[in-house]
Amino acid sequence: MVSRLCRIAFPLLILIGSAEASAADQCQGFKFEQMHSLSLQDVARMTQQKVVLGQPGALAFIPFDEEDHPQHGKLRALGLVYARVGDLGEIPIGGYVWVSSEINSSTYDVHKSANAVSILFHAQNAQQCKTQQLEFELRQMGKVYVNGVLVGTIR
């Protein structure tokens, strides 16, 4: 009896687990792609820049037009985010914030502390997405982090 139950229940558990994994795989949520240069076409797609000033420097977010934005498969570019510390001749660190087409709406919040400034992007109603938020943060010494992982230092 137990053997028969295991033969029925085990495949059922595998199917349920596979269904949950594939549902999660369908929605990546947010993704950051570091950029070193932009095309003129992408610059023309940008809207009003939003700047956040803080102790270590400044963050800027430039959203793309809702109707005209870069796309990669199921991802669409939400906008460009970059960090600067304000030194002459520096090269800012930044890139595109990509969002899954499965996410209908997203918002962002600005956070400031004594030694860091960040922008936190988060999804609305995205239970199936793996990454439901993305944090772009500038810390002391020009260090830039995405979701807690160092992506570069502004020089």
Number of compact structural domains in the chain: 1
Note if the pTM is more than 0.95.
Answer: no
11-46 exposure pattern, b = at least 16 Cβ within 10 A, e = fewer: eeeeeeeeeeeeeeeebbbbbbeeeeebeeebeebb
Mean pLDDT, each 10-residue run in order, the chain (155 residues):
49 39 58 92 90 92 90 90 90 93 84 93 74 92 96 94
Strands 133-139 and 143-146, bridge-based pairing: antiparallel
Rounded distance between C-alpha atoms, residue 76 and residue 39, angstroms: 16
**Residue 53 covered by a domain:** yes
Tokens of 88: 């002459």
Range of the domain at 106: 28-153
**Residue 146 covered by a domain:** yes
Looking at residue 56, the DSSP 8-state letter turns out to be: S
